[in-house]
Amino acid sequence: MFKLSEKMPTRDDLPLRWLAALILRVSNWKFYGELPNERKVVVCAAPHCSNWDFVFAAALIIYYRIDVTIMMKQEAFFWPLANFFRRLGFVPIDRKAPQGAVGEAIRIMHESESCWLVMTPEGTRKRVKRWKSGFLRIAHEADVPISLLVLDYQNKLIRFEDLVQPSGNIKTQLEEIMAKYDKYKLKYD
């Protein structure tokens, strides 16, 4: 079970809380860890390997009423899902302009009183050898911690693990964080 935090940004206007509770109950997924007690944080959610990640993440967000900002490829914002995505906190991004996406995320972090920015560092739904470093650059430039969120398909767990301070050494820290996720299997491994 999650331990909710005092500083966690929340909202009461999220739709379909009853459906989120049903999804969580029927799917048999469990949630562990302590939610970051931070007003601003970059949440590194990995491994991202399936569209089911969205279903479980949306259920978690809705059920616990967590106010998040999630960067998602702009191609996914089509009718009838676009308004639903926006209501949950999804922001469309142009993946072909990575500097623009990182800059926009930093701007959002600086202008917000509270912001949990959720990112999937693989940039795709398959296993990759190298993650994108944008989440680290955003955390460093915005001077906010990084929360490691694990999607553990083998054990049906979503778990908040370490809270990491950005070091500024992007390459080394990216390798260290990737190593923490190596033990977790993808849905289709």
Give residue-wise pLDDT tens across range 68-81.
888 878 888 999 88
Domain ranges, ordered by start, for the chain: 2-181
Q: Report which of 120, 125, 57 is spatially closest to residue 88, judged by C-alpha positions.
A: 57
Percent of the chain at pLDDT exceeding 70? 88
The CA-atom distances, in angstroms, between 181 and each of 111, 113, 167 are 31, 30, 19
Please give the CATH topology (third level) of the domain spanning 2-181.
Rossmann fold (3.40.50)
pLDDT tens figures, 96-120: 766 678 888 888 889 989 999 998 8
Please state, in angstroms and rounded to a whole number, the distance separating the CA atoms of residues 129 and 143.
Answer: 27
Prediction pTM value: 0.84
